[in-house]
Structure 1
Amino acid sequence: MVAGARGGCAQAGAARRGLLALLLAVSAPLWLQAEELGDGCGHIVTYKDSGTMTSKNYPGTYPNHTICEKTITVPKGKRLILRLGDLDIESQTCASDYLLFTSSSDQYGPYCGSMTVPKELLLNTSEVTVRFESGSHISGRGFLLTYASSDHPDLITCLERANHYLKTEYSKFCPAGCRDIAGDISGNVVHGYRDTSLLCKAAIHAGVIADEVGGQIGVLLRRGMSRYEGILANGVLSRHGSLSDKRFLFTSNGCSRSLSLEPDRQIRASSSWEWINETGDQVRWSPGQARLQDQGPSWASGDRSKNHKREWLRIDLGEKKKITGIRTTGSTQSNFNFYVKSFVMNFRNNNSKWETYKGIVNNEEKVFQGNSNFRDPVRNNFIPPIVARYVRVIPQTWHQRIALKVELLGCQIAPSKTQGNDSLVWSKTSLNTVGSTNREDETILKPIPSEEMPKGGRRKEILMDQLRLRKQTVGSRSNIPLPGISQLSLPSATIMKRR
């Protein structure tokens, strides 16, 4: 009986302690619950002197009872510039939901509700702690913040659009981390972007800046177009767009022309694919067919294994050149749904070893996003550029079989005075290129009249550069022919392995 009584008392005591713990948890202050519920930070990208930060789920509703706390810095001796692109916090009193900036000597905020919040803060410090706290609420996007050092007084947020500005020419600084912020862009680097597009995301798409570091952009406002063509570039998908009164272009250094190649002498591969069709004819997918402008099937590797990562396509430019980008497609044949989904780049010069192209921030092998179908071209830019004679494209993942067409973009390092621009384009003219500028093009490229528009030859050079780029652009998908090969079945393959 005594043992039974003791056991009953022990059980009752345990029950009381459990109930007490539950009551303490329920009655705990909201800030304590928030600390226990974890991180309330969302998208964060930081670099040496700029970055972007959002609340969790932005631009969706931020979660209940969370805390986001992050210390951001710029180089010592510089002042911090903070710009709030968006602030939508439900609380009107800042008691449980607020955004606060704290330095070693000052405090800015808390901010919440409908109070007037400065769009920009110039701090007398190079370091500040950002704290966002949420309690119970129903709605609210939270916040989007960008920052930079005082070296960049023209800092903008990731949410700025070209139609926010009236000048026909201006320069702004984009922070690191704008690529994955929600918001659309329409258009491309050759013909321009619809003025409703996000400026910094469009600059990443155009290859003007790298998302990891941000940078300065130069913008030219021009007369709009009837239609904008979208394309995947640098991990950003631009959408097709409709008529607009205005569009914008980015100023260019001119080093983005198509680099000439001789298919039989300058392009080699680890292997190639051959197969016999139903009529007994051999169909070759050789490396000589890897030029993007050429019609017909692409290069395809002989190895179809998904785990085989030793296949490569090598390009010899004949001399050391500055390579700023690459455009790729898949097989371009509707009956052969082959394409490379991701790849890495190697490069070398005479008498040197192959080097791997690495990321600008983490110094690790950079994997580029490739194609998502057999047809549509995808562009990736190299920031910083590759300076080399030889490059190798090494597929990492692919759909069904490695198949690739490529075009390298760039310029000569030190072109001679007697050498013309023809040396920087493909030696074989594509049927899909625009051969001349029609009247509509002239209207599109005509600048909007403005007294602020600078005069002189520089503007003419920029417009002529855009015209040259336009002439080199591959036509739309409707112009890609599907030759008779696409109507045939897939018999057994023969592998040609290069030693």
Structure 2
Amino acid sequence: GDGCGHVVMYQDSGTLASRNYPGTYPNYTVCEKKIQVPQGKRLILKIGDLDIESQKCESSYLTILSSSMLHGPYCGNVMPVPKEIILDSNEATIHFESGSHVSGRGFLLSYASSDHPDLITCLERGNHHTKAEYSRYCPAGCRDVAGDISGNIIEGYRDTSLLCKSAVHAGVVADELGGQISVTQHKGISRYEGVVANGVASQEGSLSDKRFIFTSNGCNKSLSLEEGFLSKSQITASSYWEETNEFGQQFLWSPDKAWLQVPGLAWASNHSSSREWLEIDLGEKKRITGIRITGSGSTMLNFDFYVKTFIMNYRNNNSKWRPYKGILSNEEKVFQGNSNAGDIVRNNFIPPIVARYVRVIPQSWNQRIALKLELIGCRVVQGNSSFTHSMWQRPSQSTEASLGKEDQTVTEPIPSEESNLGLTLTAIIVPVLILVCLFLFCGICIYAALRKRETKGLSYGLSNAQKSGCWKQIKQPFTRHQSTEFTISYNNEKETPQKLDLIMSDMAEYQQPLM
């Protein structure tokens, strides 16, 4: 049977594990996968863990076959297992086979291209590193690997946390792609918060000697706090619930209640439908890198409203609504929301959304659609492409082919306010210059017409003065012939003409008028 377990493979990196890892792998099973990186690159493999119950590698083992040689078999304690294998080719076949056994976790390995010599596996933790600052490359596929993390992106993570899983939780890398991480170590704190972010749940943690924090590009500020609380006109909804309690009191769960920083009620829709939406107008294009949402709140004891999953739409001025799609697929991305009414859940957008208008569209919920939210991001700055930071590495051309055109427009750099000012000045100056040119042209035309009129008047006077003498002396160059013959016939006097024969003399048009 299929002995492969967790497998995530991307063109630059990936992660493979045996079935049930880190539990016991099945008896009599085979896992065989071909892995490769782009042509012209060398393949780097790192074995994070290998625990195969076989002393002589007869029935259970792991091998790595490249075009030039076979690495392995690896099992038990027969031979030391290398932590890193660098192949001369860009592809290899991973083969794992098991026979009858009692225990054994199997294997977990990661790979990347030779562009990333600082590759680590999904199992490395913060306390495996001693430097105050360091940078490493996380492979794709570390989100669902077993192992605890404690902390959050703001205060940092307990040093016992898995590095790459924490990076996915922090929104520093996308699990589908992997990516470079930059880490700084700090003195530990007494307590680490447990929160859900990007599909990963961190656990509460106790005092530790050290903690690590991911460095970011700074585009992770609260857009509502940065700009001041947005007015009611800037947040709208498809509908909202007007609640009347048992005492006849009315409460409005209106869209202006949706801001996370505003205490009290949340926004709740009046209908239970996947077509309900909450829309935010940011006033101008912003780079939106994440969203934090919660439900009706833990203080609302009578209600347990929250959104379980949702999708995002976005648009700019005079454009259509577009769905936010997965980075490696053409399907709209479904984000994981809340599992209770009180906790705050964060999701990051990799790549970020660059838009003025965004909509949150709930897809599943508990009891009633209700949420409070906060958008995370920054202002758009010229030249600040969304892919300049390692967490937003642009996929290669082969990957871009799978991205929808909409996704590519999400991440295009937006002109700054200075360039907009230049365009505005140009729009004013050019029409003024055109008007000036038109006035000059009209003046020249009028002047020329007046001059021509004066000249005509002079020649006309001379003609009249000489007409009696000169005109008679001029011989007419043409003689007058028989006039043109017209034949117009009617069947009777009352009928309209039925036939018109018109025969013109060749010289008629040159005849002089009769004197």
- TM interval, short-chain normalised: 0.7 to 0.9
**Structure 2 match to 1:82:** 45
Query: Secondary structure of 2:192's partner?
Result: coil
Q: Of residues 196, 214, 220 in structure 1, which corresponds to 2:160?
A: 196
Task: Deviation per CA, 1:108-159: give whole Å up to 9, x if none.
Answer: 1111111201000000000000000000111100000100000000000000
**Structure 2 match to 1:280:** 248
**Structure 2 match to 1:165:** 129
> How far, CA to CA, are the matches of 2:301 and 2:216 in structure 1?
35
Residues 206-225 of structure 1 correspond to what in structure 2 (within 5 A)? Answer: 206-225=170-189
> How far, CA to CA, are the matches of 1:60 and 1:320 in structure 2?
48
**Structure 2 match to 1:324:** 289
Structure 1 residue identity aligned to 2:377: G
Q: Using CA pairs below 8 Å that are at least 6 residues apart, which structure has the higher relative contact order?
A: 1
- Does residue 63 of structure 1 match 2:31? no
Query: Shift in Å at residue 263 of structure 1?
Result: 4.0
Task: Deviation per CA, 1:232-275: give whole Å up to 9, x if none.
Answer: 00000000000001000000100000002414121000000012
- Equivalent pairs: percent with the same residue? 70
Q: Tell me if the contact between 1:256 and 1:410 (Cα under 8 Å) persists in the aligned partners.
A: yes
**Structure 2 match to 1:235:** 199
Query: Shift in Å at residue 278 of structure 1?
Result: 2.4
Structure 2 residue identity aligned to 1:327: R
The higher radius of gyration belongs to: 2
Residues 10-89 of structure 1 correspond to what in structure 2 (within 5 A)? Answer: 38-89=1-52
Structure 2 residue identity aligned to 1:146: S
Relative distance call for 1:160 and 1:327 in structure 2 (3 A) is same
**Structure 1 match to 2:238:** 270
Residues 94-493 of structure 1 correspond to what in structure 2 (within 5 A)? Answer: 94-114=57-77, 115-260=79-224, 261-304=229-272, 308-332=273-297, 333-414=300-381
Q: Tell me if the contact between 1:263 and 1:287 (Cα under 8 Å) persists in the aligned partners.
A: no
Query: Secondary structure of 1:204's partner?
Result: helix
Task: Deviation per CA, 1:14-65: give whole Å up to 9, x if none.
Answer: xxxxxxxxxxxxxxxxxxxxxxxx2110000011110000000100001000
> How far, CA to CA, are the matches of 2:244 and 2:91 in structure 1?
67
Query: Shift in Å at residue 414 of structure 1?
Result: 2.3
Task: Deviation per CA, 1:424-483: give whole Å up to 9, x if none.
Answer: xxxxxxxxxxxxxxxxxxxxxxxxxxxxxxxxxxxxxxxxxxxxxxxxxxxxxxxxxxxx
Number of residue-to-residue matches in the alignment: 376
Q: Tell me if the contact between 1:322 and 1:413 (Cα under 8 Å) persists in the aligned partners.
A: yes
> How far, CA to CA, are the matches of 2:29 and 2:163 in structure 1?
31
Q: Tell me if the contact between 1:39 and 1:66 (Cα under 8 Å) persists in the aligned partners.
A: yes
Query: Shift in Å at residue 280 of structure 1?
Result: 1.8
Query: Secondary structure of 1:172's partner?
Result: strand
Structure 2 residue identity aligned to 1:56: R
Task: Deviation per CA, 1:160-179: give whole Å up to 9, x if none.
Answer: 00000100000000000000
Structure 1 residue identity aligned to 2:21: Y
Query: Which consecutive residues of structure 1, in runs of 5 or more, have no partner in the other structure?
Result: 1-37, 416-499
> How far, CA to CA, are the matches of 1:193 and 1:311 in structure 2?
37
* Structure 1 runs of 4+ with >2 Å offset: none
Query: Secondary structure of 2:97's partner?
Result: strand
Q: Tell me if the contact between 1:334 and 1:374 (Cα under 8 Å) persists in the aligned partners.
A: no
> How far, CA to CA, are the matches of 2:65 and 2:245 in structure 1?
71
Q: Tell me if the contact between 1:263 and 1:289 (Cα under 8 Å) persists in the aligned partners.
A: no
Task: Deviation per CA, 1:389-426: give whole Å up to 9, x if none.
Answer: 000000000000000101000000029xxxxxxxxxxx
> How far, CA to CA, are the matches of 1:404 and 1:201 in structure 2?
27
Query: Secondary structure of 2:175's partner?
Result: coil
Structure 1 residue identity aligned to 2:121: T
Q: Tell me if the contact between 1:263 and 1:291 (Cα under 8 Å) persists in the aligned partners.
A: no
Query: Secondary structure of 2:191's partner?
Result: coil
> How far, CA to CA, are the matches of 2:145 and 2:301 in structure 1?
34
RMSD: 1.1
Query: Secondary structure of 1:202's partner?
Result: helix
Query: Secondary structure of 2:375's partner?
Result: strand
**Structure 2 match to 1:3:** none
Structure 1 residue identity aligned to 2:108: L
Structure 2 residue identity aligned to 1:326: I
Task: Deviation per CA, 1:47-84: give whole Å up to 9, x if none.
Answer: 11100000001000010000000000000000000000
> How far, CA to CA, are the matches of 1:275 and 1:383 in structure 2?
38
**Structure 1 match to 2:504:** none
Query: Secondary structure of 1:265's partner?
Result: helix
Query: Secondary structure of 1:271's partner?
Result: coil
Structure 1 residue identity aligned to 2:119: L
Q: Tell me if the contact between 1:263 and 1:290 (Cα under 8 Å) persists in the aligned partners.
A: no
> How far, CA to CA, are the matches of 2:10 and 2:328 in structure 1?
8
Query: Secondary structure of 1:310's partner?
Result: coil
**Structure 2 match to 1:474:** none
> How far, CA to CA, are the matches of 1:292 and 1:386 in structure 2?
20
TM-score (norm 1): 0.75
Query: Shift in Å at residue 98 of structure 1?
Result: 0.4
